[in-house]
Chains A and B, each alone.
Chain A
Amino acid sequence: MDPITFSIIRHRLFRVVEEAVITLKHVSGSAITNEGHDLMVSLYRADGSLLMGGVGFLHHLTSASEACKAIIRRFEGDIEEGDIFLLNDPYTAALHTSDIYLVSPIHHEGRLIAWSACFVHVFDIGAMNPGGFAPDAQDIFTEGFSSPGIKVVSRGRLRQDVWDTILNMVRGPEMVALDLRSMIACNNVARERMLALVQKYGVETVDEACRLLIEQSERRLRERLTELPDGRWQSRQYLEAKGETYRVVLTMTKEADRLIFDFTGSSPQSPYSVNCTKWASLGGLFAPLFPLLCYDIVWNEGVIKPITMIAPEGSIVNCTRPAPVSVATVGAIQSVNNAACATIGKLLAASERYAEEATSVWHANHFAIFMFGRNQRGGLSIGILTETFAGAGGARTFADGVDVGGEIPNPISRMANVETIEATFPIRYLFRRRLVDSGGPGLYRGGTGMELAIVPHDAPDGGLHYVISGKGAKFPQSDGLGGGLPGAPNDYVWVHTPAEGADAGRFALALDAMPGEKQPVAWGVYPLMGKDGLYVRWNGGGGIGDPLAREPAAVAKDVVTGAVSTEAAAAVYGVELAGTAVDVAGTERRRTAARRWRLGREAAE
């Protein structure tokens, strides 16, 4: 194939996905989709293999591929032009029940030539807790409806009986209907644009370009892996749920042009919903692999071929049915993300050529806080605090991480404006800002996370409630690299004030200024009623390199800008300040003493 035609078709495939994403966002009425970008759209070959991975949450790229393959197996002989299938069973392919896949076959002149697939986190899935995350669930049966594959549109016509049945099982059916319609519109646009491409260049030419594209990706990744050093790198992530501690342990081995991700040693599956299935773990390791190793390689089946995953059955990263998994995306999956990011970062940092591509772990802890209750207009509101997507960048080998820079698994993640949330829920923000001392210290500092506080406001029922699935408070998980320290852990604090007590700080500007009992919370359903407040702070990215080697002037600047406290400047970075200026002699003394402490020659650092 001539390279110009190949290049044009490749770019057109990018644009097909991009336009489908825009459609999804524009049709959706949900903040988690169009503000938080908790979505994904990708194209797949006729056999379900990944053709063109799109943006959004990248751990869905491989899972949606498996969803296409599952539909092909289940509906063999019954896949027709204009059909659309729904799949959300985690033991078949999905990550958790509330992330629904809609997959659509794309036919040309009666022949199946490709698939488009997309997902959004729907408004509700009928789980025991509103919003889909069900920290109280004991099995998959209490996590809402789950389908291993059902046809919702047949030959272009909506199957009303199926549609009504689905909407009869969820809270806020009108919002779930809008979610599903946004995905139908998305897949329709993907199909139309794909067919326009075929019409222009011919089906055989497009098919050949797709085949070559996958070959190219495989070849380029194998070449890159060959350039990187062989070795073995480990990572260990601790996560807690309801007082229990679990480990995700990863040994990544790189041999020649292959990578093996071995999760042997990880904890047995949990009775709580932090588990994930094998498809979720596979997606979880690819989420950082795509952007870190394939930043200039098309994300498709060719990238998957050199990778092997070992995930022991019955473990927290490959649980068996009917174990609950609804919190997986902020539980075991994200720990797999973090562990893979850490080991890939170590691999890159070991290479002269690729060291600048290395990063420490970014935003390691999502917090799923789904608020629910009657809003200021009398209707039902259910939705997530989209700040969970406002992660922090990990440090790099040549620069600090980006403050509130997002997250590795979702290159387009972002949070909603305060005003959007206040318009959706009967609440008011007291503050939302960068969190001091949250970025992992290092020669290069991790980006900062944030903190916020909310109180009820104009609530017809006096407030609302929230479902919280909040790991990351007990253990830091944004690991540092090469001597860098981890980003600070999260905190979730219910500021509880009795009705007769002082108001929980109507205009407080800090947690300390909020009167009332401060009770850490992490898992379950809690009130935000009356004079209650909710304070949340979340992790920064990991640092890289020795904090004692950081340029003192950079530390002083961090103190001035509020990223680092004076206490941390002295205790962690060994920098003495005189006002906002560096005390050079004092800094030298402090750093010398700190190095001696490390060697056991000084009483205290």
Chain B
Amino acid sequence: MSRRRISQTLTAGDGHVRCGGCDHALAPVNGPWKQAAALSERTVASLPGAGLGTDPTVMLRQFCCPACGALLDTETALPGDPFLDDVVVVRDGTP
């Protein structure tokens, strides 16, 4: 069961992008994985540290492991903007 690091929180192994914490298989490698994550959103303006001028519509997207709830990635986004798409090329499914 070999796993290869592909980000701070994700690994790749057995042909899948996986949660680095619980090894849950999220999506096939070499493609988008965020659609398979649990997405929770909150406004940046609601976070501690927000300023007087913080845009009330800009969201913090939190992509979490649907199995263990670990936070795998974040991005700030205005409504309607697509997910950022990060793909690490994994050949032969495993390292």
Contacts and interface: CB of A to CB of B under 8 A. Distances in A.
Q: Are A and B associated in one complex?
A: yes
Interface of A: 229-236, 238, 240, 245, 247, 346, 349-352, 355, 358, 397, 436-438, 473-476, 479-486, 488-493, 518, 520, 522, 537, 540, 544-549, 565, 567-568, 571-572, 594-600, 605
5 contacts: A234-B85, A234-B86, A240-B55, A438-B49, A565-B48
Interface in B1-15: 4-9
Nearest to B88: A231
Looking at chain B, what size class is its interface with the partner chain?
A: 35 or more
Given A238-B58, A568-B49, 8 more contacts: A231-B89, A232-B86, A474-B53, A486-B44, A490-B51, A540-B49, A594-B69, A596-B69
Contacts of A484: 8, 74
Given A483-B9, A488-B49, A493-B52, A598 B40 contact: yes
B27 interface: no
Contacts of B36: none
Contact of A233 (B58, B71, B86): B86
Nearest to A565: B48
A476 B76 contact: yes
Nearest to B60: A485
Given A236-B81, A475-B55, A491-B52, A350 B5 contact: yes
Given A236-B81, A474-B55, A482 B76 contact: no
A167 B58 CA distance: 45
Given A475-B55, A485-B60, A486-B76, A229 B48 contact: no
Which of B47, B51, B69, B70: most chain A CB closer than 10 A? B51
Given A483-B70, A520-B52, A229 B88 contact: yes
A358 B7 CA distance: 10
B44 A476 contact: yes
A522 B89 CA distance: 42
Interface string B56-84: 00101010101011111111111001001
A595 B58 contact: no
A544 B54 contact: no
Contact of B84 (A235, A476, A482, A546): A235
A208 to B, nearest CB: 39
A349 B76 contact: no
Given A231-B89, A350-B7, A489-B44, A483 B74 contact: yes
B89 A483 contact: no
A280 B43 CA distance: 33
A474 B58 CA distance: 8
Nearest to B44: A476
B72 to A, nearest CB: 6
B47 A485 contact: yes
Given A473-B53, A489-B50, A572-B48, A595 B69 contact: yes
Nearest to A564: B48
Contact of B6 (A229, A540, A567): A229
A597 B41 CA distance: 11
A240 B74 CA distance: 21
Nearest to A360: B8
Given A231-B87, A475-B76, A568-B48, A489 B9 contact: no
B38 A489 contact: no
Which of B53, B54, B77: most chain A CB closer than 10 A? B53
Contacts of B88: 229-231, 350
Contacts of A572: 47-48
Contact of A598 (B6, B69, B76): B69
